[in-house]
Chains A and B, each alone.
Chain A
């Protein structure tokens, strides 16, 4: 327990120190990392708890981003309102997608979410009157409150950091709640849970909608970070990127996805200075992760940590997931 606290304190300290010590670009990178950490968390919530690998979590982020761009830029609705509407609309989309996919499992789920995600991508590309098509919608800005420009990299950082922390804490609570345990139970043995009288479909459905909403939060920041909304975040490339980050970091643990995203962003920006082969790099990272450490880096680190110290009791929910 003490170790855990220390770790949390260290993370908090790093989050506070980063914008104070680092340059503009490093802060901007951190913003992107946190945004994608949210998307990867959304992915991991389904993958780690239910064994559902979704290729449409970034789609929800995209839907949220488009809602903000369309309502904010085209219709001029004010800032806090568009964010609420965006989250609402994203949740509704997740409800619809959830209804379509809730009965499928494993590989079928992967294929369905791939097809559905690509369908929305095609729509965003095609529905030019509404989405601006390939060129997208430019000029998405946060407001300035009394001289405080929310678009400023460091101010934006504060916004993203606080929200990201809050969402991660909420998911941490969720993982330990009876509902979280039920999800794990469903992944382990669906029949048994059903026999015990648990509403399996409903639980899955609720998890799917929750994950969609988390991705929606990522989408809000994504669009304000870029200033423009275009179809590219909805493409398969982004979905695979998020999946790779989650697999690399370890989708069964809470902090694995964040770790994976951080590493992948650092790796990409390093690789980009030498070569254009970023797609191959992502492919190889995914390949090696699955072959060498299917449980992700978080698990490798945790094992190492445990071996050196006395074995801890099963305090982290992560360990429960590993048993499956």
Chain B
């Protein structure tokens, strides 16, 4: 007992010393990668980390040449921790460029910090549109997407190709699904759709039976959410036999971020839209996928957050090379000019606001080699975060919310 106490006391004093400042100054260029590797959303952070690790291996010569070092930080999926890690990167670890954050809320917290700090930042999977729209700052660009972006294509596809007129949309009640709904409505209504009835439920709902009991009639149901909520909804939708009544469509993350094996065969034929599909078959993508699985195990499919981390890292290294160092202004300028003709997901470049203009794939769940994957069945190329709309007009409009844009397509808003 006494020993334990002295031991604790000793370690405490050692800790206090160790936690002091340790600013390093040398010619090493440091890239800090931040994402949630613990907590509820750790899957996303893990994927990003694995993607970055693959890029590090493939670019190792170029990293050595420039003396680039990489450090990983856990955001815990928490805004406060994210800001703390970012501060540590800047003033303790002398980091020159940040990749991440990954999630919506932490992305906005990171943006808030980056605005004050001026640190060059490549946001990977985090999708709030204001990061590259209303609150954009010069030093922050994005390698990923906005919530509305893939839905611009999906809205059109559902109206034009599937011919659905009335959609029942059940979604998680927060800003990312609002944005997805917004993108969907804005094109769906202009392509011949009639109405989208939105039903919002609290995030973290586990029992959907009562929502399903009162589900209105429509041509199809679109579940606008993902993760454990999405999985539970999917299961209960089938338990109550609603799949026989109305087909189930997915929001962008519904089938796309790792829940397919849990959904099982019932997911076959499920449609959703994203700027990524693990069933792509072009050379760049196949090389990426094979290398990824070789590095992280055959069972680990690279999904969108992994590719976005991979690509974000490559963008960062390219920017450092063309800036010939880590001088902030030059790196930021180079980042904003990023062109990625060989990205695994397909070629993209950044628009004037710092968000990729890229392919959007309409994906269908198919079985390939005994494994469920999202296979692209239709490609919409060069889709920007503004979809078919004029950026200035889009920015002047109201941001998407729980009930904006209107769910009735005959509303004068759509004229």
Binding site for B on A (CB under 8 A): 22-26, 28-29, 32, 122, 125-126, 128-129, 132-136, 138-139, 151, 222, 226-228, 230, 232-233, 237, 262-263, 265-267, 269-270, 272, 276-279, 288, 292-293, 297, 300-301
Interface string of B35-71 (1 = CB under 8 A from A): 0011000000000000000000000000000000000
CA of A266 to CA of B88, assembled, Å: 13
Q: In the docked arrangement, what's the CA distance between A270 and B83, Å? A: 17
B175 proximal to A (CB < 8 A): yes
The reply to whether B402 and A29 form a contact with Cβ atoms under 8 Å apart is: no
Report whether A292 and B1 are in contact in the complex, using a CB–CB cutoff of 8 Å. yes
State the Cβ distance, A42 to closest chain B Cβ, in Å. Answer: 18
Number of A-B contacts (CB under 8 A): 137
Q: In the complex, A301→B20 CA distance in Å?
A: 23
Verify A292–B5 contact, CB threshold 8 A: yes
- CB atoms of B402 and A292 under 8 A apart: no
The 6 closest A-B pairs by CB, nearest first: A24-B91, A23-B21, A266-B19, A25-B92, A25-B91, A133-B174
Contact between chains at A230 and B5 (CB < 8 Å)? no
CB pair A136 B19 closer than 8 Å? no
* Residue pair A272, B104 in contact (C-beta under 8 Å): no
Q: How far is the CA of A111 from the CA of B52 in the complex (A)?
A: 43
CB distance B80 to A133 under 8 Å?
no
Cα distance A265–B81 when bound, in Å?
A: 12
Q: 4 new A-B pairs (CB below 8 Å) besides A129-B401, A135-B108, A136-B109?
A: A29-B19, A266-B19, A278-B38, A293-B8
The residues of A that contact B79 with a CB separation of less than 8 Å are 136, 226, 228, 230, 232
Q: Which residues of B contact A25 (CB under 8 A)?
A: 21, 87-88, 90-92
B290 at the interface (CB under 8 A from A): no
Query: Bound complex: CA of A134 vs CA of B147, how far in Å?
Result: 15
Docked pose: A135 CA to B104 CA in angstroms:
6
Given A134-B174, A293-B5, residue A226 in contact with residue B21 (CB < 8 A): no
Q: In the bound complex, how far is the Cα of B104 from the Cα of A136, in angstroms?
A: 10
Given contacts A276-B38, A300-B9, contact A138 B16 (CB under 8 A): no
Q: Is the CB of B104 within 8 A of A134?
A: yes
**Residues from chain B with Cβ under 8 Å of A136 in the complex:** 79, 105, 108-109
Query: At the interface, yes or no: B173 with Cβ under 8 Å from chain A?
Result: yes
A272-B73 in contact (CB<8A): yes
Rounded to whole Å, the gap between the CB of B44 and the closest CB of chain A is: 14
Given A230-B105, A272-B73, A276-B37: A138 and B175 within 8 A (CB)? Answer: no
B253 CB-CB contact with A under 8 Å: no
Q: Smallest CB-CB separation from A139: which chain B residue?
A: B112
Query: Complex: how many Å from CA A169 to CA B39?
Result: 37
Q: Which residues in chain B, 67-116, are within 8 Å of chain A measured between CB atoms?
A: 73-74, 76, 78-81, 83-85, 87-88, 90-92, 104-105, 108-109, 111-113, 116
Contact B202 A125 (CB under 8 A): yes
B1-23 interface code vs A (CB 8 A; 1 in, 0 out): 10011001100100110111101
* Contact residues of B between 187 and 224, Cβ < 8 Å to A: 202-204
A233:B80 contact, CB within 8 angstroms? yes
| Cβ-closest chain A residue relative to B89 | A25
CB of A302 to closest CB in B, whole Å: 12
Given A32-B84, A135-B108, A293-B5: A227 and B113 within 8 A (CB)? yes
A138: contacting residue among B73, B112, B401, CB under 8 A: B112
Verify A128–B23 contact, CB threshold 8 A: no
Secondary structure dominating the interface of B: helix
Q: B108 touching A138 by the CB < 8 A rule?
A: yes
CB distance from B388 to the nearest CB of A (A): 26
Q: Which residues of A contact B173 (CB under 8 A)?
A: 126, 128, 133
Q: Which residues of A contact B84 (CB under 8 A)?
A: 28-29, 32
- Known pairs A128-B174, A151-B116; A270 contacts B108 (CB<8 A): no
Interface size on B, residues (CB 8 A): 49
Distance to closest chain B CB from A148 (angstroms): 16
Sample (19) of A-B pairs whose CB atoms are under 8 Å apart: A22-B20, A22-B21, A26-B92, A128-B173, A128-B402, A133-B203, A134-B104, A135-B108, A151-B116, A226-B112, A227-B112, A228-B109, A232-B79, A232-B81, A269-B19, A272-B85, A276-B37, A277-B38, A288-B4
B32 interface residue (CB < 8 Å to A): no
B410 at the interface (CB under 8 A from A): no
Return the CB mask of B146-179 against A: 1 if under 8 Å, else 0.
Answer: 0000000000000000000000000001111000
Give the distance to chain A from B234, nearest Cβ to Cβ, in Å.
Answer: 21
A125, A134, A297: the one contacting B12 at CB < 8 Å is: A297
B170 CB, min distance to chain A CBs, angstroms? 16
CB distance from B291 to the nearest CB of A (A): 25
- Once the chains are docked, how many angstroms separate the CA of A263 from the CA of B16? 7
Contact B12 A227 (CB under 8 A): no
B300 interface hit (Cβ, 8 Å): no
Q: Is the CB of B78 within 8 A of A232?
A: yes
> B250 near A: Cβ within 8 Å?
no
Chain A residues whose C-beta falls within 8 Å of the C-beta of B402 in the assembled complex: 128-129
Chain A residues with CB under 8 A of B12: 263, 297
A41 CA to B88 CA in the complex, in Å?
26
State whether A138 touches B74 (Cβ < 8 A): no
* Nearest-neighbor residue (CB-CB) of A132 within chain B: B175
CA distance A297 to B21 in the complex (A): 25
User: Which among A126, A129, A230, A276 is the interface contact of B202 at CB below 8 angstroms?
Assistant: A126
Report the separation of the CA atoms of residues A125 and B105 in the bound assembly, to the nearest whole angstrom.
Answer: 11
- CA gap between A22 and B20 in the complex, in Å: 8
Bound Cα distance A135, B12 (Å): 36
Q: How far is the CA of A218 from the CA of B90 in the complex (A)?
A: 25
User: Least Cβ distance of B37 to chain A in Å?
Assistant: 5
Complex contacts, B176 vs chain A, CB 8 Å: 134-135
Beta-carbon contact of B108 and A228 below 8 Å: yes
Known pairs A134-B105, A135-B175; A297 contacts B112 (CB<8 A): no
How far is it, in angstroms, between the C-alpha of A233 and the C-alpha of B401 when the chains are bound? Answer: 24
The answer to whether B8 and A122 have CB atoms under 8 Å apart is no
- The residue from A138, A151, A233, A266 contacting B18, defined by CB atoms under 8 A apart: A266
B244 to chain A, nearest CB (A): 32
Instruction: Decide if A232 touches B80 in the complex (CB within 8 Å).
Output: yes
The listed residue (B112, B202, B204) touching A228 by CB distance below 8 A is: B112
Residue among A26, A32, A126, A262 making CB contact with B21, cutoff 8 Å: A26
Whole-angstrom distance from the CB of B176 to the nearest CB of chain A? Answer: 8
Q: Tell me whether A270 and B15 are in contact (CB under 8 A).
A: yes
Contact pick for A276, options B15, B19, B74, B108, CB 8 Å: B74
- Bound together, the chains give a CA A126 to CA B200 distance in angstroms of 10
Interface string of B117-138 (1 = CB under 8 A from A): 0000000000010000001000
A139 cross-chain contacts in B, Cβ below 8 A: 112, 135
* CB-defined contacts of B83 to chain A, threshold 8 Å: 226-228
Distance of A126 from chain B, by nearest CB (Å): 5
Chain A residue at smallest Cβ distance from B175? A135
